Amino acid sequence: MKLVLFRNILMYLIPIMMFTACTTKAPIFNEPITNKKGNIYKVSKNLKNTDDLSLILTFSGGGTRAASFSYGVLKELRRQNLLDEVDVISSVSGGSFTSAYYGLYGEQIFEDFEEKFLKKPIQTRLIDTFVNPFNWFDLSFSNRSDYVASLYEEEIFGKKTFGDLREDGPKIIINATDLSTGNAFSFTHDNFHRICSDLDTYPIGRAVTASSAVPVLFSPLTLKNYSGCIPYFYQKRKSKKLLSHKDRQSLNVRAYQDKENFPYVHLVDGGIADNLGIRSLFHIVSELDNDFLKVMKVFGIPNSRKVAIVVVNASDALDPKIAKQEIAPDIETTVGAVSTIQLKRYNTDTLDLVSNSFKTWEKQVNEVRCTDNKKDCNAIEFYLIELNFNQLPKEQAKKFSLTKTSLELKPEKVDELVQAGETLLRNSKEFNKLLKDIKK
């Protein structure tokens, strides 16, 4: 998540970091696991074993722009009476505010989320705090994100933990980036078992802070990698099926079993590793022998016949003024352009990876179902529903894609982005195909 904060407070952060960067240690908030043996991969609490339809949502990064856009998609799903079909939400950075709040409070999100976050001057409060000289030594670089996490807990999430997520709600996967492995780190029971830690006691506000902790502006969030627990059987096996570059990248998380060389996990913005929130799903697929039927069982949707992955992509665009100016771009414009270029290229590859995997997954599921029942030889269908600003009319698309990635937008801009999320889902050809198919 690239923030307008970069421009507004960088001049203040440099001297502050010079004087205070080494004054404090980052506090540890994750607790060691109490069940040393653990269970197998923790299945989603939202078991809908008889449902024919399953929706998997991914919310991208992009600050309040992304949070508002994804909130609009939830509003349209409610209008279509499809919220109960959402089984998984995987989110990054700005999108994590929406997913976490919905995971905790359900449809209450439509009553107070705009007041609690979308239209709240969070960024103004952070800037005022960070640039106040009286706070410089209390808010050194190493504990700056701890202040932000406390603010999010107090103002938005009510000091809730992962154990407070609704039992009847979807599985919520909040994603950050681990600086030591270069991998996406998902806040899941599976990953926390790798570091022998208890996810249920970890604060939601801290996870969202990690997911949106822009490097340089905010300090990494630190987890302790405890020892003493027994890895799940699939976390230590060596499968011949896991040979692709994607699989090897996914399995970098096995480094956490080396407690001596990886005693800590330092987390920053999830958009660095995956700005769409999709890669964490592929990591789960890789871990489970690239067998999507096993993944469906993990998510509690083993009998689904239609699986739709809805990608809410609030990524920004390159500033068209760059090519029209003889003078080289300033620091802010250059940093923003580099980030946008990297994200767009990676996003495109990730979406291709999803669509190219559908045939393989359909074959895996249908072969097993066909063996059990000859009538189920063609019993599952996948849908990829990507929503992005380029699908809007040209002028509107330009307006939203050039909206700064910030933690604070004008209320009228928030309303426009929310409406854009509703409109794009309602008008999506693939979404309407899904609606037509489920009525057959």
Higher pLDDT, 319 or 34: 34
User: What would the pLDDT profile of 169-191 be if each residue is shown by its tens digit?
Assistant: 999 999 999 998 888 899 999 89
Give the pLDDT of residue 349. Answer: 78
Give the residue, 64 or 39, on which the prediction is more confident: 64
pLDDT confidence bin for 147, thresholds 50/70/90? confident
Phi, psi angles (nearest 5°) of residue 55: -110, 130
Question: What is the C-alpha separation between 360 and 363, in angstroms, rounded?
Answer: 5
Buried-exposed string 108-132: b where 16+ CB fall within 10 A, e elsewhere: ebeeebbebbbbbebbeebbebbee
User: How much is the average pLDDT of 246-265?
Assistant: 79
Q: What is the pLDDT of residues 295-318, one digit of tens each?
A: 998 888 988 999 999 999 998 654
Q: Look up residue 263 and give its amino acid.
A: P
Which residue has better confidence, 222 or 136?
Answer: 222
Name the more confident of 144 and 40. 144
Whether residue 263 contacts residue 224, with contact meaning beta carbons closer than 8 Å, is answered with yes
pLDDT-based confidence at residue 9 (cuts at 50, 70, 90): very low
Q: Which residue has the higher pLDDT, 33 or 320?
A: 33
Q: CB atoms < 10 A from the CB of 167, how many?
A: 9
What pLDDT sits at residue 19?
A: 39
Mean predicted confidence (pLDDT) in 22-29:
64
The stretches of 252-330 forming alpha helices (DSSP H) are 279-287, 292-298
The arithmetic mean of pLDDT across residues 228-248, rounded, is 62
CB 191 within 8 A of CB 30: no
Q: Which residue type does 24 have?
A: T
Strands, DSSP E only, in 95-206? Answer: 171-178, 184-187
Please state, in angstroms and rounded to a whole number, the distance separating the CA atoms of residues 172 and 160: 14
Task: Answer whether residue 69 shows pLDDT above 50.
Answer: yes
CA distance 176 to 186: 6
Question: What values do phi and psi take at 173, rounded to 5?
Answer: -120, 110
- Based on its alpha-carbon atoms, the radius of gyration of the chain, rounded to whole angstroms, reads 21
Taking CA atoms, 298 is separated from 103, 107, 270, 342, in Å, by: 18, 25, 23, 32
* Poorest-pLDDT segment among 82-86, 90-94, 131-135: 131-135
Q: Which residue reads 């904060």 in tokens?
A: 5
259-282 pLDDT, tens digit per residue, is 999 999 999 999 888 889 998 888
Phi (first) and psi of residue 199, to 5 degrees = -65, -35
CB 192 within 8 Å of CB 118: no
Query: In which band, very low, low, confident or very high, does the pLDDT at 73 lie, cut at 50, 70 and 90?
Result: very high
Range 86-109 average pLDDT: 97
Least confident range of 19-23, 260-264, 318-322, 433-437: 19-23
- Quote the pLDDT of residue 273: 86
E-strand stretches of 48-121: 53-59, 86-92
Task: Give pTM, 2 decimals.
Answer: 0.87
As a whole number of angstroms, the distance between CA 353 and CA 351 comes to 5
Query: Strands 184-187, 171-178: parallel, antiparallel or unpaired by DSSP?
Result: antiparallel
Pick from 204, 162, 184, 170: nearest CA to 56? 170
- Dist CA 87 CA 364 (whole Å): 20
| Residue 47 confidence (pLDDT) above 50 | no
Q: Which two tokens stand for residue 20?
A: 């205070």
Per-residue pLDDT at 243 exceeds 60: no
Instruction: Round to the nearest angstrom and report the end-to-end CA distance of the chain.
Output: 41
431: pLDDT strictly greater than 60: yes
Per mean pLDDT, which of 130-134, 160-164, 367-371 is the most reliable?
160-164
Looking at per-residue confidence, does 239 or 299 come out higher? Answer: 299
Tell me what the pLDDT averaged over the chain comes to.
82
Q: Determine the average pLDDT of the residues in 251-258.
A: 80
Q: Is the pLDDT of residue 80 over 90?
A: yes
pLDDT band, very low/low/confident/very high, at 284 (cuts 50, 70, 90) = confident
Residue pair 304/51 in contact (Cβ under 8 Å)? The answer is: yes
Structure confidence at residue 40 (pLDDT): 43
Q: Are 84 and 303 in contact (CB under 8 A)?
A: no
pLDDT at 346 over 70: no
Instruction: Answer whether residue 115 shows pLDDT above 80.
Output: yes
Element (H, E) at 77: helix 63-79
Token pair in block for residue 281: 């799903």
